[in-house]
Amino acid sequence: MGAPIMTVQGVSKAFGGIQAVEACTFEVTPRLITGLIGPNGAGKTTVFNLITGFLRADGGSIRFKGEELLGMAPHEVEARGVVRTFQHLRLWGKMTVLENVLLGCRTPLGESVVSLFLRPARVREEEATARRRALEVLEFFGLAGRAHELAEDLAYPEQKLLSMARIFATDAEVLLLDEPTSGLDTDSLQRIVPMVRRLVEHGKTVLLIEHNMELIAQLSDEVVFLHQGRVMARGRAEQITRDPALTEIYFGV
Amino acid sequence: MLAYIAHYLVMVGIYTILATSLNLLVGYSGIFSLAHAAIYGIGAYASALAALQLGLGFWGGLLVAAVVGALAAALVAIPSLRVAGDYYIVASFGLQVVILTVFINWTSLTNGHAGLPGIPRPRVFGLVVDDPFKYVVLSLALAALTYLICRRLTASAFGRALRAVREDEIAAAATGKNVVAVKITITTISSALGALAGSLYAHYITYINPTSFSLDESIFITSLVILGGTERLAGPLVGSLILLAVPEALKFLAIPDTVAAPMRQILYGALLIVFMFVRPEGILGRARPRRAA
Amino acid sequence: MDLALQLLATGLVVGSLYALCAIGWGLIYGTTLHFHVAHGAVFALAAYYAYVAQTWLRLPLAVAVLVAIVASAVSGLLIDLLLYQQLERRGAFRTSIFIASLGLLILLENVLAIVFTPDPMRMDIGALNTAVIIGPVFLTYLHILTVALALVGYGALMLFLKRSRWGQAIRAVSSAPEMARTVGIDLRRVHLLTYAVGSALAAPAGILVAMDVGAEPFRGTRFVLLASVGVIMGGIGSIPGAMLGGLFLGLLENLGIWKLPSEWQSAISFGVFLVFIVLRPRGFFGRTIHSAEI
């Protein structure tokens, strides 16, 4: 399997009186899909928030390729190569599909006011390169035909794909997908599920939050089972999803 | 009559710069500032003092104005923009009040209420800009320059990032944008441009005093932005053209001065309210579908 | 030393006024998230309601004050009902609500300026003007009443929020609006109540100032600014914090002039505010609304 690309060690987070995540420890193996599952309120999205710097952990450590991520701001975590999608997508509805993906591409010169005025030629070049890349990404996700439509006008399954396309464009190595299949019917699922596999084939590492046990069994190589903020079990997908005690926790509560 | 129209056009140019620069904040970034009149005033005083005390020419004055304006805004923006935008409203409100206090009370520097007279006319490329028509050219040229600068900003990757931050800054942060840096940058640029307008004003009227830079003035500039529309860059121009004609219209109706001033304010206040109902994007804005509550 | 004590006393009086404005504004902001600058207009209106009740309607002072407080509560409620809720129904952004509030503040202040002129309208406060001298400190009964009313107002509000059903509804909406809605709380009604209560708290402040130095149309702007500073310093969502924040600002302003020229009062308050939000954006007791908070 190789050394883990990311290790979460003893991470905890409390809100008011509620301990959302406690002594959370697991590893993410590179170039695999790791599923993060557990009943509602288990703390899964909180873990995503902690990894990507949207929340400050109370304690513990999150190491990515040897570097400590805790304490970094979200954009710094992204720069290191870890990105996430949102359960509620958070697309920029009033902007076009292409713009949504362009925002994921690297355009440091175009975003620097100094460069904007002093190096117009380089900026133009960079923008052209970014556009090409953005269109490639859209092709990859099957959205090229929609490039100039507003993101809010897309059908829901396509919006889900767009949210993945956006983070794919960032070239980040580790993609955290928050419920990429929620709210989709069986037909639409067939568009999303293969895409997640293709991401790994492309060299990415995926950590995904998912509710559907079957999908988890189908998609994940490894699984981390969270319950009331603690890691209940880790291991190969087949083991975890067939474990009756865990299934009871999952459906019982 | 012609000189009168020239004066109107000079002021339109100045207010277009003010409104365009404020629009960068309110329209493009969703950051509301009540301190734009104070920034305008900083530009005016900085430039006037640079000319009167240091003998700096017009371009030097412009530069000083832009730098001082930018610094003042950054000073306030850096602590307040790290937290939510509402903090910036309060901070900008406070900045407006404090700066006006400085203008009024730091009499050794600003002469307080008596103001600064005798500000020299600008020398541009060897020509002294001493009549209204030459000033129209200067004013409109600077307004055009401001427009071009803003165009470049908003049409770039930076502008894209700005719009993303405005629509959903959490998504922007997750996608690698340094939200705070973007906000501070745009606030600084907006203020540098607003201060420029102040410099232009000071050298035109050749006399400045604190009353021109009060909260009322901030409200007026805000009304210009709202009226003209926040979506298009030409909006501030339209807003200025319309609202600057209003005081003249009021004069035609022979309303006494004591009532005219509050009446104008009532008009601006009503305008803000009405536009929020009818057309929050302003006159020129694209009518966009309302976001569900 | 004598001067310091006098300034301390004055600071407490002024702080009480700010505190009343702050707890009302803070209640409204914490519950509705509206940046209700028009609170300053309610402050100003309250003064004129009292003035009119006393001078035109010839009501005795106490009755005039009560009438004014009720009228202010109704005014605040109407602002929400007729302006903010209407805008929200049309899907307005929060910035739009703020802009409309600002427009209303300007409009109302200037209407008052036309109707009553910008000059202060003095009220007849009879015995309240009597001086009270405690050592080197000079106060009037009015000043003491001001501090007392602030404490009473605070106490009443806290009791209302903790013990009464409606108070609890307000707290529920304040901390978790979606949750409150799912348990069947009518958000619109709670908002209206919040505006009524918040405005009823600002009213005494406006009236007391009018009783001291006369009613003026434009004073409210400054008070609402300081109220919001007080709320932020005290911590958004915390009424005790707002109370402390207001008192703190009053003391700061007045003690500030012990050593610095009085024209710099506002600069001092504002400067402290900026330093404060750098060091402790959460305020004394509150939760920060961080830019990127999910």
Distance (Å, whole) CA C189 – CA C181: 11
Reported as a pLDDT band with limits 50, 70 and 90, residue C290 is: very low
Q: What is the mean pLDDT of chain B?
A: 88
Calpha distance C80→C262 (Å, rounded): 37
Residue C187: is its pLDDT beyond 80?
Answer: yes
> How far, in Å, CA of A71 to CA of A57, rounded?
8
Give the pLDDT of residue B282. 61
CB contact under 8 A, A92 and B185: no
- Residue A122 pLDDT grade (very low, low, confident, very high; cuts 50, 70, 90): very high
pLDDT of residue B156: 94
Residue predicted with more confidence, C125 or A251: C125
The pLDDT value given to residue A3? 85
In this complex, do B161 and A111 lie within 8 Å of one another by their Cβ atoms? Answer: yes
Q: Kindly state the tokens that stand for C256.
A: 């500030």
What does the mean pLDDT of chain A come to? 90
Nearest CA in chain C to A56: C293
Average pLDDT for residues A124-128, to the nearest whole number? 95
Q: Quick one: pLDDT band at residue A210, thresholds 50, 70, 90?
A: confident
* A90 → closest Cβ in B160, B170, B179: B170
The band of B283, judged by pLDDT with boundaries at 50, 70 and 90, is low
Give the pLDDT mean for C120-141: 88
Q: Is the pLDDT of residue B202 over 90?
A: yes
A contact test, residue of C171, C293, C294 with most A CBs within 10 A = C294
Closest CA to C69 of C141, C133, C153, C129: C153
Q: Is C71 helix (H, G, I), strand (E, B) or coil?
A: helix
pLDDT at B184: 92
Confidence of residue C288 (pLDDT cuts 50, 70, 90): low
Q: How confident is the model at residue C104 (pLDDT cuts 50, 70, 90)?
A: very high
What is the length of chain B? Answer: 293
Distance from C-alpha of A21 to C-alpha of A228, rounded to nearest angstrom: 7
Chain A: closest CA distance from residue B186 (Å) = 9
More confident residue, B79 or A28: A28
Evaluate whether B32 touches B92 at the Cβ level (below 8 Å): yes
Question: Is residue B126 left, alpha or beta, with left meaning phi > 0 and alpha meaning psi from -120 to 50?
Answer: left
User: pLDDT digit string (tens) for B38-87?
Assistant: 999 999 999 999 998 888 888 888 999 999 999 999 988 888 887 777 88
Alpha helices per DSSP H over A103-155: 113-118, 120-140
Whether residue A94 contacts residue B162, with contact meaning beta carbons closer than 8 Å, is answered with no
Kindly list the residues from chain B whose CB atom is less than 8 angstroms away from the CB atom of residue C270. Answer: 94-95, 97-98
Q: Residue C109: pLDDT above 90?
A: yes
Contact across the interface for C107 and B215, Cβ inside 8 Å: no
A152 token code pair: 């809010």
Least CA distance to C89: which residue of chain B? B293
Q: ipTM of the predicted structure?
A: 0.91
State the Cα–Cα distance between residues B126 and B20, nearest whole angstrom: 29
The token pair that represents C107 in the structure block:
């409009």
Q: Measure C129 CA to nearest chain B CA, in Å.
A: 31
Contacts of C126-134 with C-beta under 8 Å, sequence gap 24+, read C126/C61, C128/C61, C128/C211, C134/C9
Please tell me the distance in Å from C16's CA to the nearest CA on chain B: 20
Q: Are residues A49 and C293, on separate chains, in Cβ contact within 8 Å?
A: no
Residue range B121-136: mean pLDDT, rounded: 85
> Do B84 and C289 lie within an 8 Å CB cutoff?
yes
In this complex, do C92 and B280 lie within 8 Å of one another by their Cβ atoms?
Answer: yes
| Residue B291 reports pLDDT greater than 60 | no
Interface residue C294 vs chain A (CB under 8 A)? yes
Q: In percent, how much of chain B has pLDDT > 70?
A: 95
- CA angle (C130 as vertex; C128, C131 as ends), nearest 5: 130
* Among C residues 274-293, those touching chain A with beta carbons less than 8 Å apart: 292-293
Chain A contacts of C293, Cβ < 8 Å? 54
SS3 at position C106: helix
- Band (pLDDT 50/70/90 cuts) for residue B281 is low
What is the average pLDDT across B175-187? 93
Distance CA B129, CA B203 (A): 9
Give the pLDDT confidence of C247-285 residue by residue, as tens digits: 999 999 888 887 777 778 778 888 888 888 778 877 888
Average pLDDT over residues B112-119: 89
DSSP structure class, residue C127: G
| Structural contact between residues C225 and B80, judged by C-beta atoms closer than 8 angstroms | no
Q: Residue A81: in which H helix or E strand, if any?
A: none
Predicted pLDDT of residue B285:
57
Note the pLDDT tens digit of each residue in A31-85. Answer: 999 999 888 777 899 999 999 999 989 999 999 998 999 999 999 999 999 999 9
| A52 in reach of chain C (CB within 8 A) | no
Chains that touch C (3 or more CB pairs under 8 A): A, B
Beta carbons of C102 and B222 less than 8 Å apart: yes
Contact predicate C95/B280, CB 8 Å:
no
Residues of C in contact with B219 (CB under 8 A): 102, 106
- pLDDT at C291 exceeding the cut of 60: no
Q: Contact at 8 Å (CB) between C68 and C50?
A: yes
Q: What are phi and psi of C137, to 5 degrees?
A: -95, 135
- Enumerate the residues of chain A whose CB falls inside 8 A of the CB of residue B189: 113
Query: What does the DSSP assignment read for B101-153?
Result: HHHHH-HHHH-GGG-B--PPPPEETTEE--SHHHHHHHHHHHHHHHHHHHHHH
pLDDT-above-90 percentage for chain A: 63
Q: How large is the average pLDDT for residues A158-167? A: 95
Tell whether the model's pLDDT for residue B288 goes beyond 50.
no
Q: Tens digit of pLDDT for each residue in A190-209?
A: 888 888 999 999 999 999 99
Contacts of C33 (CB under 8 A, 6+ apart): C94
- Both tokens of B130, joined, read 């001493």
Name chain C contacts of B82, Cβ cutoff 8 Å.
281, 291
- Give which of C95, C219, C293 to mutate to test B binding, by max B Cβ within 10 Å: C95
* Interface contact B83, partner A, CB < 8 A: no
**Sequence-separated (6 or more) residues with CB below 8 Å from residue C236:** C26, C29, C30, C283, C286, C287, C288, C289
Q: Which residues of B24-60 are buried (b: 16+ CB within 10 A; e: fewer)?
A: bbbbbbbbbbbbbbbbbbbbbbbbbbbbbeeebebee
Tokens of B202: 């000071």
Kindly report, residue by residue over C18-44, the tens digit of the pLDDT: 999 999 999 999 999 999 999 999 999
Taking an 8 Å cut-off on Cβ atoms, the answer to whether B266 and C222 are in contact is: no
**Is residue B168 predicted with pLDDT exceeding 70?**
yes
Distance CA B248, CA C136 (A): 56
> C294 pLDDT exceeds 70?
no
The rounded distance, in Å, linking the Cα atoms of A117 and B49 is: 29
Measure C230 CA to nearest chain B CA, in Å.
Answer: 10
Kind and range of the H or E element at C169? helix C165-175
User: Is the pLDDT confidence value at A233 over 90?
Assistant: no
Among the listed residues B284, B283, B217, the one whose alpha carbon sits nearest the alpha carbon of residue B15:
B217
Q: Are B46 and B222 in contact (CB under 8 A)?
A: no
Where does B178-256 have alpha helices with state H? 179-205, 215-228, 235-252
Q: Is the pLDDT at A131 greater than 80, yes or no?
A: yes
Whether pLDDT at B287 is above 80: no
